[in-house]
Protein backbone atom coordinates (compact mmCIF):
# COMPACT_ATOMS: atom_id res chain seq x y z
CA UNK A 1 0.00 0.00 0.00
CA UNK A 2 1.29 3.42 -0.90
CA UNK A 3 2.26 5.21 2.34
CA UNK A 4 1.37 8.53 0.75
CA UNK A 5 -2.33 7.59 0.73
CA UNK A 6 -4.83 6.17 3.19
CA UNK A 7 -6.15 6.93 6.64
CA UNK A 8 -2.72 7.08 8.26
CA UNK A 9 -1.55 9.65 5.77
CA UNK A 10 -4.83 11.54 6.10
CA UNK A 11 -4.33 11.68 9.86
CA UNK A 12 -0.72 12.77 9.45
CA UNK A 13 -1.45 15.56 7.02
CA UNK A 14 -4.69 16.65 8.65
CA UNK A 15 -4.91 19.67 10.90
CA UNK A 16 -6.58 19.99 14.29
CA UNK A 17 -10.11 20.26 12.84
CA UNK A 18 -9.72 17.16 10.68
CA UNK A 19 -8.39 15.13 13.59
CA UNK A 20 -11.14 16.39 15.87
CA UNK A 21 -13.79 15.31 13.35
CA UNK A 22 -12.19 11.87 13.05
CA UNK A 23 -12.08 11.47 16.84
CA UNK A 24 -15.70 12.62 17.10
CA UNK A 25 -16.81 10.05 14.52
CA UNK A 26 -14.88 7.35 16.34
CA UNK A 27 -16.55 8.30 19.64
CA UNK A 28 -19.99 8.30 18.01
CA UNK A 29 -19.32 4.87 16.53
CA UNK A 30 -18.21 3.43 19.87
CA UNK A 31 -21.21 4.94 21.67
CA UNK A 32 -23.68 3.56 19.12
CA UNK A 33 -22.17 0.07 19.17
CA UNK A 34 -22.18 0.02 22.98
CA UNK A 35 -25.88 0.92 22.99
CA UNK A 36 -26.67 -1.66 20.30
CA UNK A 37 -24.88 -4.48 22.14
CA UNK A 38 -26.27 -3.61 25.59
CA UNK A 39 -29.85 -3.16 24.40
CA UNK A 40 -29.68 -6.32 22.30
CA UNK A 41 -28.61 -8.27 25.39
CA UNK A 42 -31.49 -6.69 27.33
CA UNK A 43 -33.98 -7.73 24.65
CA UNK A 44 -32.61 -11.26 24.69
CA UNK A 45 -33.03 -11.39 28.47
CA UNK A 46 -36.57 -10.00 28.28
CA UNK A 47 -37.49 -12.59 25.65
CA UNK A 48 -36.33 -15.31 28.04
CA UNK A 49 -38.32 -13.72 30.87
CA UNK A 50 -41.44 -13.53 28.72
CA UNK A 51 -41.31 -17.28 28.18
CA UNK A 52 -41.90 -17.75 31.92
CA UNK A 53 -45.33 -16.11 31.80
CA UNK A 54 -47.17 -19.36 31.12
CA UNK A 55 -45.30 -20.97 34.03
CA UNK A 56 -46.51 -18.08 36.16
CA UNK A 57 -50.14 -18.76 35.26
CA UNK A 58 -49.79 -22.47 35.90
CA UNK A 59 -48.43 -21.90 39.40
CA UNK A 60 -50.38 -23.03 42.46
CA UNK A 61 -50.53 -19.55 43.97
CA UNK A 62 -49.31 -16.03 43.33
CA UNK A 63 -46.14 -16.38 45.41
CA UNK A 64 -45.16 -19.50 43.51
CA UNK A 65 -45.89 -17.68 40.25
CA UNK A 66 -43.54 -14.86 41.24
CA UNK A 67 -40.77 -17.34 41.95
CA UNK A 68 -41.20 -18.75 38.43
CA UNK A 69 -40.69 -15.27 37.03
CA UNK A 70 -37.28 -15.15 38.70
CA UNK A 71 -35.68 -12.70 41.10
CA UNK A 72 -34.25 -10.17 38.67
CA UNK A 73 -35.43 -6.71 39.87
CA UNK A 74 -35.10 -5.44 36.28
CA UNK A 75 -37.61 -8.04 35.04
CA UNK A 76 -40.52 -5.91 33.74
CA UNK A 77 -42.97 -8.83 33.97
CA UNK A 78 -42.13 -9.51 37.61
CA UNK A 79 -42.33 -5.78 38.38
CA UNK A 80 -45.76 -5.65 36.73
CA UNK A 81 -47.04 -8.57 38.82
CA UNK A 82 -45.69 -7.02 42.03
CA UNK A 83 -47.25 -3.65 41.24
CA UNK A 84 -50.59 -5.30 40.57
CA UNK A 85 -50.48 -7.26 43.82
CA UNK A 86 -49.57 -4.17 45.86
CA UNK A 87 -52.28 -2.11 44.16
CA UNK A 88 -54.92 -4.75 44.88
CA UNK A 89 -53.83 -5.07 48.51
CA UNK A 90 -53.78 -1.30 48.97
CA UNK A 91 -57.24 -0.90 47.49
CA UNK A 92 -58.71 -3.57 49.75
CA UNK A 93 -57.09 -2.10 52.86
CA UNK A 94 -58.18 1.50 52.16
CA UNK A 95 -61.95 1.56 52.28
CA UNK A 96 -62.18 5.28 51.50
CA UNK A 97 -60.86 4.64 48.00
CA UNK A 98 -64.11 2.89 47.14
CA UNK A 99 -65.88 6.23 47.16
CA UNK A 100 -63.76 7.78 44.42
CA UNK A 101 -61.97 5.00 42.53
CA UNK A 102 -63.12 1.45 41.93
CA UNK A 103 -60.78 -1.52 41.91
CA UNK A 104 -60.68 -1.85 38.12
CA UNK A 105 -59.68 1.76 37.51
CA UNK A 106 -57.16 1.72 40.34
CA UNK A 107 -55.48 -1.41 38.98
CA UNK A 108 -55.53 -0.04 35.44
CA UNK A 109 -53.69 3.09 36.50
CA UNK A 110 -51.15 1.16 38.54
CA UNK A 111 -50.40 -1.35 35.81
CA UNK A 112 -50.19 1.43 33.23
CA UNK A 113 -47.67 3.30 35.38
CA UNK A 114 -45.56 0.15 35.64
CA UNK A 115 -45.66 -0.34 31.87
CA UNK A 116 -44.70 3.31 31.34
CA UNK A 117 -41.65 2.87 33.59
CA UNK A 118 -40.64 -0.27 31.71
CA UNK A 119 -41.12 1.57 28.41
CA UNK A 120 -38.80 4.35 29.57
CA UNK A 121 -36.13 1.80 30.50
CA UNK A 122 -36.50 -0.04 27.19
CA UNK A 123 -36.13 3.20 25.26
CA UNK A 124 -33.08 4.30 27.19
CA UNK A 125 -30.15 4.80 24.85
CA UNK A 126 -32.21 4.91 21.67
CA UNK A 127 -31.82 8.68 21.58
CA UNK A 128 -28.07 8.13 21.20
CA UNK A 129 -28.62 5.95 18.14
CA UNK A 130 -31.10 8.40 16.66
CA UNK A 131 -28.69 11.30 17.18
CA UNK A 132 -25.73 9.41 15.73
CA UNK A 133 -27.72 8.17 12.75
CA UNK A 134 -28.96 11.65 11.90
CA UNK A 135 -25.79 13.68 12.53
CA UNK A 136 -22.86 11.39 11.62
CA UNK A 137 -23.22 11.89 7.82
CA UNK A 138 -23.13 15.66 8.28
CA UNK A 139 -20.15 15.45 10.62
CA UNK A 140 -18.34 13.40 7.98
CA UNK A 141 -19.40 15.86 5.29
CA UNK A 142 -18.01 18.72 7.34
CA UNK A 143 -14.73 16.82 7.63
CA UNK A 144 -14.71 16.35 3.86
CA UNK A 145 -15.34 20.03 3.15
CA UNK A 146 -12.67 21.08 5.61
CA UNK A 147 -10.24 18.49 4.26
CA UNK A 148 -10.77 19.66 0.67
CA UNK A 149 -10.27 23.26 1.76
CA UNK A 150 -7.11 22.31 3.62
CA UNK A 151 -5.84 20.26 0.64
CA UNK A 152 -6.51 23.10 -1.81
CA UNK A 153 -4.60 25.52 0.38
CA UNK A 154 -1.65 23.12 0.44
CA UNK A 155 -1.76 22.67 -3.34
CA UNK A 156 -2.02 26.42 -3.86
CA UNK A 157 0.96 27.02 -1.61
CA UNK A 158 2.97 24.43 -3.52
CA UNK A 159 2.07 26.05 -6.83
CA UNK A 160 1.24 22.73 -8.48
CA UNK A 161 -2.27 21.68 -9.52
CA UNK A 162 -1.70 18.61 -11.64
CA UNK A 163 -4.16 15.73 -11.37
CA UNK A 164 -1.75 13.54 -9.45
CA UNK A 165 -1.25 16.29 -6.89
CA UNK A 166 -4.98 17.02 -6.55
CA UNK A 167 -6.45 13.51 -6.61
CA UNK A 168 -4.63 12.23 -3.52
CA UNK A 169 -5.51 14.98 -1.01
CA UNK A 170 -9.05 15.41 -2.35
CA UNK A 171 -9.67 11.65 -2.35
CA UNK A 172 -8.45 11.36 1.21
CA UNK A 173 -10.72 14.21 2.25
CA UNK A 174 -13.68 12.37 0.72
CA UNK A 175 -12.91 9.45 3.04
CA UNK A 176 -14.43 11.51 5.85
CA UNK A 177 -17.82 11.28 4.15
CA UNK A 178 -17.47 7.52 3.92
CA UNK A 179 -16.54 7.38 7.60
CA UNK A 180 -19.63 9.40 8.46
CA UNK A 181 -21.82 6.95 6.57
CA UNK A 182 -20.02 3.98 8.15
CA UNK A 183 -20.92 5.39 11.55
CA UNK A 184 -24.50 6.37 10.68
CA UNK A 185 -25.69 3.21 8.90
CA UNK A 186 -25.18 0.77 11.83
CA UNK A 187 -26.77 3.31 14.17
CA UNK A 188 -29.88 3.60 11.99
CA UNK A 189 -30.18 -0.15 11.45
CA UNK A 190 -29.60 -0.82 15.15
CA UNK A 191 -32.21 1.78 16.11
CA UNK A 192 -34.84 0.23 13.84
CA UNK A 193 -34.09 -3.29 15.10
CA UNK A 194 -34.23 -2.23 18.75
CA UNK A 195 -37.47 -0.31 18.28
CA UNK A 196 -39.01 -3.39 16.70
CA UNK A 197 -37.73 -5.59 19.53
CA UNK A 198 -39.01 -3.16 22.17
CA UNK A 199 -42.42 -3.17 20.51
CA UNK A 200 -42.56 -6.95 20.85
CA UNK A 201 -41.67 -6.78 24.56
CA UNK A 202 -44.26 -4.06 25.18
CA UNK A 203 -46.95 -6.09 23.41
CA UNK A 204 -46.24 -9.00 25.75
CA UNK A 205 -46.26 -6.65 28.75
CA UNK A 206 -49.63 -5.26 27.73
CA UNK A 207 -51.11 -8.76 27.34
CA UNK A 208 -49.69 -9.77 30.71
CA UNK A 209 -51.12 -6.61 32.29
CA UNK A 210 -54.52 -7.37 30.75
CA UNK A 211 -54.49 -10.87 32.27
CA UNK A 212 -53.27 -9.55 35.64
CA UNK A 213 -56.05 -6.97 35.67
CA UNK A 214 -58.65 -9.67 35.05
CA UNK A 215 -57.07 -11.90 37.68
CA UNK A 216 -57.10 -9.27 40.44
CA UNK A 217 -60.59 -8.04 39.58
CA UNK A 218 -62.39 -11.30 38.80
CA UNK A 219 -60.08 -13.93 40.30
CA UNK A 220 -59.22 -15.63 36.99
CA UNK A 221 -57.28 -14.98 33.85
CA UNK A 222 -59.25 -14.11 30.70
CA UNK A 223 -57.08 -15.85 28.11
CA UNK A 224 -56.27 -19.29 29.43
CA UNK A 225 -54.11 -20.27 26.45
CA UNK A 226 -54.46 -22.91 23.80
CA UNK A 227 -54.61 -25.87 26.22
CA UNK A 228 -57.20 -24.17 28.44
CA UNK A 229 -55.74 -25.90 31.49
CA UNK A 230 -54.54 -22.98 33.56
CA UNK A 231 -54.74 -23.74 37.27
CA UNK A 232 -56.62 -20.97 39.14
CA UNK A 233 -54.06 -19.30 41.39
CA UNK A 234 -54.71 -18.41 44.99
CA UNK A 235 -54.20 -14.77 45.88
CA UNK A 236 -51.90 -15.57 48.74
CA UNK A 237 -48.76 -13.52 49.09
**Residue pLDDT, tens place only, 115-172:** 999 999 999 899 999 999 999 999 999 988 887 887 777 777 766 666 666 666 677 7
Q: Give the mean pLDDT of 40-49.
A: 92
Taking the C-alpha atoms of residue 123 and residue 43, their distance in angstroms, rounded to an integer, is 11
Taking the C-alpha atoms of residue 129 and residue 46, their distance in angstroms, rounded to an integer, is 21
pLDDT for residue 230 is more than 50: no
pLDDT for residue 227 is more than 50: no
pLDDT for residue 175 is more than 70: yes
Which pLDDT belongs to residue 229?
Answer: 46
For residue 57, count other CB atoms closer than 10 A to its CB: 21
Residue 98 — very low, low, confident or very high, per pLDDT cuts 50/70/90?
very low
Which pLDDT belongs to residue 237?
Answer: 45
DSSP of 191-237: HHHHHHHHHHHHHHHHHHHHHHHHHHHHSS-S---SS--PPPPB---
DSSP state of 6: S
DSSP state of 61: B
Which pLDDT belongs to residue 44?
Answer: 93
Closest CA to 75 of 32, 108, 45, 33: 45
Q: Which is more confident, 155 or 25?
A: 25
| pTM (2 d.p.) | 0.78
Residue 222 — very low, low, confident or very high, per pLDDT cuts 50/70/90?
low
Q: Give the mean pLDDT of 16-41.
A: 92
**Residue pLDDT, tens place only, 156-172:** 776 666 666 666 667 77
% of the chain at pLDDT higher than 70: 76
pLDDT for residue 109 is more than 90: no
Which pLDDT belongs to residue 58?
Answer: 84
Amino acid sequence: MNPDFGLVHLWGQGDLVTRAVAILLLGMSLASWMVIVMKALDLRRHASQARQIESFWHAADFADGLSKLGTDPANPFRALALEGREAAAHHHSQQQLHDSLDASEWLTRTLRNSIDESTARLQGGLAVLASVGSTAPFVGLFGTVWGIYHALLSISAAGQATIDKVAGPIGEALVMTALGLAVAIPAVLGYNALVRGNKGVLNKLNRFAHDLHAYFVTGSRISAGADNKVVPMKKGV
